Amino acid sequence: MSSANSITLDWEGSPVPCVEGDTVLDALLRAGIPVPHSSCLVQARSGPVPAAAQQGLKESLRAQNYLLACLCRPEQDLSLAPPGQGVRITALLTERDWLSDTVLRVRLAPDESLGHRPGQYLTLFRPDGLGRSYSIAGPELELHVRRIPGGAMSNWLAEAQPGQAVTLQGPAGDCFYTPGDPTQPLLLAGAGTGLAPLYGILHDALGQGHQGPIWLYHGALNERGLYLTDELQALAAQHRNFEYRPALLDRDGPLPEVISRDHPKLTGWRGFVCGDPTIVNLLRKRLFLGGMASRAISADAFLPATLK
Amino acid sequence: MHIKTMPTLYEVDIFYRKVLLDDRINGFFEGVDMDRQIAKQKSFLTMVFGGPVSYSGQDMRRAHAHLVARGLNDTHFDAVVENLGASLAELGVAAEVISEVAALAETTRADVLGK
Ligand SMILES: Cc1cc2nc3c(=O)[nH]c(=O)nc-3n(C[C@H](O)[C@H](O)[C@H](O)COP(=O)(O)OP(=O)(O)OC[C@H]3O[C@@H](n4cnc5c(N)ncnc54)[C@H](O)[C@@H]3O)c2cc1C
Ligand code: HEM
């Protein structure tokens, strides 16, 4: 119900009254709802988000309808949720093929849309409840899973049959393309299955007509660690602004150094780095020291779910 | 004196980049997560700009005690103040303001070095 001076917020399905002039935070606190984040960040599910409520937020957060409850004075009904929960849906595994000796491509058909951006990640749950996070390599739910010796989920997925049902939660993460400045140079760097989100971001950027140069670095120990090379070479031949650079440790040296040699100065660039935590930290530091602004670097570290 | 009180992310970047490139002191910052470090550099700058952060002398002692144990001394302190001055100069801050900032940083020396 909304009349001239009463607005109804929806907080995860429960109605919360809001008087005109109130901030969302006022209304939530009055309803006894603890706002789950010290920065008062919440996510709008539907309803127009007042621009003033997104002041100072990163572009990737704005694009996901995040807003600051303490700044938001809604003028219309608004449906809200705590940040980063995503939705939980079921999906069927439809296809499974090997992209290399150790990297499996898994395609999933969800019951309903996850509403993700390519490059974000989801958490996949087996029927017994075991869950692991995987990056999304495209507009459809396509995952690149490295088979890890003794790994519970990766080996299960390697044996799973098409038609297998799984549960998905997400999306999460801020590694995705935002078309803010179509001429800004982009640097995408990762090792191993760190390529998965980068592959998604690359397709998204090209699909949205990004005009600035896009450099994709894929690091691997040796030739056998690379995958999707034919597809990436074909894309590079097709798009003049896209450069594909496989970097092999045994031939080219460490990935951060390969990047520094090609691009001693990265001032004004936007960067995406993904993969194992060690390489992600080294890469971010290298991009930053090259002159990239800290807030222009998005990173997803593939932290293992269990420790050795 | 008039110093603005909250550093922008751009200013934090300039200062943190200089610190990480300075071989005299970057060893102390090795292996620290970048997001966390950038948040702390922001606290550092807010503090030396005379802005609203409430670190007591005790807090400063505690935050740097493990570094003192690893050999943090006056030369490292001087290097940080030097990088601070160079960053502000690069940002076009007037010389007299830079010396006020340096003087404010100086007041923390004994606590930072655990003296
Ligand atoms: C945000 C995020 C995104 C991710 N995206 C991807 C992705 O796109 N593709 C992908 O393949 N993985 C991705 N991961 C990693 C993934 O979630 C799992 O950790 C991985 O698949 C291993 O799970 P498992 O159940 O097979 O192994 P587990 O049973 O969890 O582990 C078995 C053993 O292997 C060790 N181990 C775990 N990971 C590694 C590793 N990388 N290298 C060496 N040893 C390891 C563990 O410590 C343990 O001892 C991502 C992780 C995060 C947090
Ligand atoms: C000029 C005076 C200095 C001031 C005012 C200062 C201020 C601070 C502040 C506010 C923090 C954050 C504390 C916290 O939130 O936990 C901090 C952390 C830190 N400082 Fe300083 N600092 C000074 C000098 C130095 C010097 C000389 C070094 C080393 C060369 C140094 C290295 C560090 C490191 C590595 C941390 C992070 C500790 C950790 O998280 O492990 N600081 N400092």
Choosing from A81, A116, A138, the residue where a domain stops is A81
Q: Establish if A179 belongs to a structural domain.
A: no
- Tens of pLDDT, residues A105-150: 999 999 888 889 999 999 999 999 899 999 999 999 999 999 999 9
Same domain, yes or no: A296 and A197: yes
Looking up residue A162, the CATH number of its domain turns out to be: 2.40.30.10
The rounded average pLDDT for each run of 10 residues, N- to C-terminus, in chain A (308 residues) is 63 81 83 69 80 79 82 84 74 96 96 90 93 94 96 96 94 88 97 97 97 98 96 97 97 97 97 94 94 92 74
Please give, rounded to a whole number of angstroms, the shortest distance from the CA of A169 to a CA of chain B. Answer: 25
Domains identified in chain B, total number:
1
Q: Establish if B85 belongs to a structural domain.
A: yes
Same domain, yes or no: A93 and A73: no
pLDDT band at B2 (very low <50, low <70, confident <90, very high): very low
pLDDT score recorded for residue B4: 57
Q: Establish if B1 belongs to a structural domain.
A: no
Same domain, yes or no: A42 and A105: no
Q: Establish if B4 belongs to a structural domain.
A: no
Q: Establish if A181 belongs to a structural domain.
A: no
Query: Where does chain A show beta strands of DSSP type E?
Result: 6-11, 14-19, 41-46, 66-68, 78-81, 87-98, 103-110, 121-125, 131-135, 141-146, 165-172, 186-191, 214-220, 242-248, 270-275, 297-301
The DSSP annotation for A207-223 comes to: HTT--S-EEEEEEESSG
CA A302–ligand 1 middle distance (angstroms): 7
pLDDT score recorded for residue A307: 56
Residue nearest to atom 15 of ligand 2 (CA): B40
Of B15, B12, B10, B42, the closest CA to residue B26 belongs to B15
Q: Establish if B3 belongs to a structural domain.
A: no
CB contact set of A156 (below 8 Å; sequence gap of 6+) = A126, A130
Q: Establish if B2 belongs to a structural domain.
A: no
B18 → chain A, closest CA residue? A289
Domain that holds residue A117: 88-172
B contacts of A291 (beta carbons < 8 Å): 17
Looking up residue A212, the CATH number of its domain turns out to be: 3.40.50.80
Establish whether residue A151 lines the binding site of ligand 1, counting it when its CB lies within 6 angstroms of any ligand atom.
yes
Looking up residue A18, the CATH number of its domain turns out to be: 3.10.20.30
Q: Establish if A1 belongs to a structural domain.
A: no
Q: Establish if A243 belongs to a structural domain.
A: yes
Choosing from A149, A172, A195, the residue where a domain stops is A172
pLDDT score recorded for residue A212: 97
pLDDT band at B3 (very low <50, low <70, confident <90, very high): low
- Tens of pLDDT, residues B52-78: 777 888 889 999 999 999 999 999 999
Same domain, yes or no: A167 and A74: no
CA B77–ligand 2 middle distance (angstroms): 10
pLDDT score recorded for residue A60: 73
This prediction has a pTM of 0.82
CA A251–ligand 1 middle distance (angstroms): 26
Domains identified in chain A, total number:
3
Looking up residue B29, the CATH number of its domain turns out to be: 1.10.490.10
Domain that holds residue B56: 9-112
**Which residues does ligand 2 sit against, CB inside 6 Å?**
B 25, 28-29, 32, 40, 43-44, 47-48, 55, 63-64, 67, 72, 76-77, 80-81, 105, 108, 112
